[in-house]
Structure 1
């Protein structure tokens, strides 16, 4: 299907359809949505070179990652990109992934901006003190941060989940059940999300008058192997934790292996809570017993971040979007009272 046929199918002029697909601000949002959704259904793809000449845009969104094998095979990363790509494709934008190589991330951003290779970028895994934002501001390259940079909230576009609140609720549930030794298996704590999760965990302990014990806490890559090794280490210590709070379902998978090897019963001998990003092949409800989780869809986050970035690209004078998503605590069978 070409532009003329798509226009006739929609009952709109070719100019209106072209402007809707290319993000012109004078096209109403309802019309833009109708055109882009129908173009997606019909498999219409505008000519990239003609579109770039007409708009001065590349219609490409960039993602830059280090050459870290654990990131490239991380299902959380994959699900986020899938959600973002769905929206970008519907709006006629391609997805450009840069993974490692000799260039560092800052050099890639400079090359993207100087060459006009992308119209905007998504910043992933923000640090507590992150130099990428100052660089992107200086390059005048639109961006949205998935997460936040430390305690800084103003001056940039972001979407984050309430990591502090999520792990406060999870830990409080356990203290309400009588647990006093609660282990934490967390991500790398130079990353903002992991630091916020630790703060929420510690807040719940302090509220109950419990000391924070670094010996039953772990910070590292969110892998199944780390979940297994660290859960086994903690559950073999004396006195052992009676509950574990974990930052990913991959860690939960490893922890379950350790629990079973040690002959312990989940929900009775040890309570488990994990963070669930809604990954289709790690179903918290389908485990036996079903897993208590803090829950927020990473795929939905990817879709929303893409929407926010495309809005910034289409209207560079718009207010910078900033969204905080609440996180649900879903109580299931993996949590129970402290063992007698």
Structure 2
């Protein structure tokens, strides 16, 4: 059954049917329910090309990833975000256009998407310090939502972010409360806004307790298992090594655990670890009892929320920006314990 046949069955125009299934706000709720229920009963799945012709939209959302950020974005965290966003897109009959571009080609990619009309909106990933993308996309007129936020002076824009500074300050306070004075930080690249905020939260907690902030206890780089392992191993070889680590991703924390084991130390007894982003669909933090103590915030839920906000703004461009900052939940696991020295 095609769009025309389904529309005739309901006694509605193809445009009304497409708009009802696409979530347009101008469609009456009664009509939306009628169309949705009929689609379910008759097993009707709209053809995206037909829907695009009927509504004048591309029925697609763009995600642009520069190769220089692949280490940060194309990983299980990014996969979880896309899984959450994809749930929302699918229900609204939208496609994802994922463009991995060469370094420096982001501007061209965004402008091309805007000029060709290939997408109806954009999700911006991995905001950085002095990020120029936000002002650029605002100039194109395309609706967009930022996953995270950037410290740039720009007109208000929509974003969904975790309170990274507060999360890492709380995590550092937990380790300090357990008696740890030598705390290592395994972090992402500091050009990334989230990593800078996490470092600031870590430093603020140490300084508030009169604990020295030591550069040799800080690593910033690609958030990989290998780097987590190498950075933790190097710090554990110091004359006065850390007795605890605060880690920016579960992937890095797994590497730190490997370094702790190779040093013939016991996780949670000799060395404590607190990680972030442990709630991943493809990488479990234990079953009944979490392996790692963690500051938890669902990346999949963030993907869903970013997609919801963006599609609402695609449907009604007069809506004001939506800005949400989520608190992380502190989950106690087996990886933390009192300092022994």
Alignment: residue pair count = 339
Contact 1:292 1:334 in 2 (8 A): yes
1:87–1:307 contact (8 Å) kept in structure 2: yes
Stretches of structure 1 lacking an aligned partner (at least 5 in a row): none
TM-superposed CA distance for 1:24, in Å, is 2.8
Q: Which residue of 1 aligns with 2:149?
A: 148
Structure 1 206/184 Cα, relative in aligned 2: closer, same or farther at 3 Å?
A: same
Q: 1:286, CA displacement in angstroms?
A: 3.8
1:56 positional shift? 1.5
1:334 Cα shift? 1.0
In the TM superposition, what is the alpha-carbon distance from 1:71 to its structure 2 partner? 5.1
- Pair 1:53-2:53 in alignment: yes
Check conservation: 2:2, 2:47, Cα contact below 8 A: no
Q: Are 2:93 and 1:67 equivalent residues in the alignment?
A: no
Q: How does 1:81-230 map to 2 (within 5 A)?
A: 81-101=82-102, 104-150=105-151, 155-230=156-231
Q: CA deviation at 1:73?
A: 4.3
Q: Deviations over 1:136-159 (max 9, x none)?
A: 111111100000012668611111
* Structure 2 residues not aligned, in runs of 5+: none
TM-score by length of 2: 0.91
C-alpha deviations, 1:265-306, integer Å up to 9, x for none? 111110000012411342223498721000011111111100
Indicate yes or no: 2:280 matched with 1:308. no
* C-alpha separation in 2, matches of 1:335 and 1:260: 15
TM-score under structure 1 normalisation?
0.91
**Equivalents in 1 of 2:65, 2:142: separation in Å?**
17
Deviation for aligned residue 1:112: 0.5
- Please tell me whether the aligned partners of residues 135 and 154 of structure 2 are also in contact (alpha carbons under 8 angstroms): no
Q: 1:129 to 1:28 in 2, by over 3 A?
A: farther
SS in structure 1 of the partner of residue 142 of structure 2: coil
